[in-house]
Structure 1
Amino acid sequence: MEKPVIIFGAGALGKAALEILNKNNIEVYCFLDDHEELHGTEINDVSVLGSTDDDGFLKFIGKKCEAFIAEEETTLRKRHVKLLNDRRKVMPVNLIHPDTSISDHAEMGHGNFLNAKVILGSSAKLGNHCILNTNAVIDHEVKIGDYVQLGAGAIVGTGAEIEDEVFIGTGAVLVPGVKIAKGARIGAGSIVIGNVESGETVFGNPAKPV
């Protein structure tokens, strides 16, 4: 990545994104955020210059700058991705902490956030716009869809399949081969030993529907 990056979102994930870019020696052009009270402020010497739909800044994306969506809420991320697709015909870049471990045989889409010490195993497939927090482990041959979030220390066992928009809490463990359907939520610290249905929330050891 040679171009500077514009970060969409000046919250906690935006600050983490800035740290990853700094560690990779990539310039950050600015933050854009829809909270007007943040406009004109700075985060570690990087300014919050305007809103996420400000054409004065959007016009640089795809020409002079790249973009990353640093919003944890899925609906917001989807909205910003659509804006970039529609107005600029681009996808957000991946942000990968230098302390991650990614197999040469893993596959990854666009707009993903991989924080420190994430492991992505051999033949694993990661979709688009996912958030993998510190120490998350994706074992080999795991398949992950789009807009999936993994909390810090979450472990996904070999051959598991995770569909779109799944949330997996901090420290949760998914045993090998389980299937987690679209929009399901796994509570922090849960041990998942069976399949989880679409939209279902499970918690506990072993995890059960809430």
Structure 2
Amino acid sequence: MEKPVIILGATGIAHPALEIFNSNDVVVYGFLDEDENLHGTEINTVSVLGNPEDDGFLKLVGKKAEAFVAVDDVKYRKFLVKLLNERRKVQPINAIHQTAYISTDAVIGHGNFINAKVTVGTGVEIGQHCILNTGAIIDHKAKLGDFVQVGAGSIINSEVTIGEGAFIGSGVTIVSGVTIGKNARVGAGSVVISSVGDNETVFGNPAAKIKS
């Protein structure tokens, strides 16, 4: 990649994203964050320049720089992706750590964060703007929708389907063939042996629905 990258967001996965780009010898131009208290500070010698909605910085995206959205909150992540799509007519790039294993026939969309030691198996389909934290395993023929988050060390077994916006905590195991609905949440350490509906929250071993 010849163009430098501007990272939108300066907390959460922003620092690991910087490390990923560094590991791939990609220059990070700077960070943009809505928190004015962070403006002028540095993350590993890279400056937080200003606000993501500032056209003075956004105009660099496209011709002079690529963009990556490093925001954990799904709602705000969607907002920033839409901002880049509409104002700059670009899609965020992927941030893939060089120690991640991606099968040659996996299909991966735009704007994904794939951290160190993640394994993406054969025939896997990953949507756009997902976050796969350290050591997550996505086994063969699993399908992840857009804006899915998978916690560190979680195991998504073969032919699992995870709907858009779902959150899978750290250390979760989802057995083969299970479906996780849109915007569902699976608590850390859970073992999921049956399908989870849209907007449901489950926790435990075996995972059971938590009543709201």
If the length of structure 1 is used for normalisation, what is the TM-score? 0.99
Residue 50 (structure 1) aligns with: 50
Q: Secondary structure at the match of 1:12?
A: coil
**DSSP 3-state at the match of 1:53:** coil
Alignment root-mean-square deviation, CA: 0.5
Q: How does 1:112-191 map to 2 (within 5 A)?
A: 112-191=112-191
Residue 106 of structure 1 is matched in structure 2 by 106
> Structure 1: how far apart are the matches of 2:48 and 2:187?
34
Using the alignment, how far apart are the partners of 2:163 and 2:197 within structure 1? 10
Look up the match of 1:194.
194
Whole-Å Cα distance in 1 between the matches of residues 12 and 175 of structure 2? Answer: 30
Corresponding residue of 1:88: 88
AA of the residue aligned to 2:53:
D
- Aligned identity (percent) is 58
Q: Deviations over 1:158-182 (max 9, x none)?
A: 0010110000000000000000110
Cα deviation for residue 79 of structure 1 reads: 0.4
Q: Give deviations 1:76-131, integer Å, cap 9, x for gaps.
A: 10000000000000000000000000000100000000000000000000000000
**Once the 2 structures are TM-superposed, how far is the Cα of residue 12 of structure 1 from its aligned partner?**
2.7
Distance in 1, Cα, partners of 2:153 & 2:84: 31
**Take 2:158 and 2:8, find their aligned partners in 1: how far apart are those partners?**
33
In 2, Cα distance between equivalents of 1:131 and 1:193: 23
CA distance in 2, matches of 1:100, 1:39: 32
- For 1:173-198, what per-residue CA distance to the aligned partner results, in whole angstroms no more than 9, with x for missing partners? 00000001101000100000000000
Match of 1:29 in 2: 29
CA distance in 1, matches of 2:2, 2:117: 24
CA distance in 2, matches of 1:69, 1:127: 15
Please list every run of 5 or more consecutive structure 2 residues that lacks an aligned counterpart in the other structure.
none
Q: Distance in 2 between matches of 1:141 and 1:133?
A: 19
| C-alpha separation in 2, matches of 1:75 and 1:181 | 17
Structure 1 segments of 4 or more deviating over 6 A? none
Query: 1:42: how far off?
Result: 1.0
Q: How many residues align?
A: 210
Give the residue type in structure 2 aligned to 1:181. G
* Within-5 A mapping of 1:57-68: 57-68=57-68
CA deviation map 1:2-24 (0-9, x unaligned): 21000001113111100101111
- How many Å separate the matches in 1 of 2:165 and 2:43? 29
Q: Distance in 1 between matches of 2:84 and 2:117?
A: 29
For 2:175 and 2:142, locate their aligned partners in 1 and report how far apart those are by CA, in whole Å: 11
SS at match of 2:83: helix
SS of structure 2 residue aligned to 1:86 = helix
Of stretches 93-102 and 39-48 in structure 1, the one that deviates more from structure 2 is 39-48
Q: In structure 1, how many angstroms separate the alpha carbons of the residues matched to 2:55 and 2:187?
A: 39
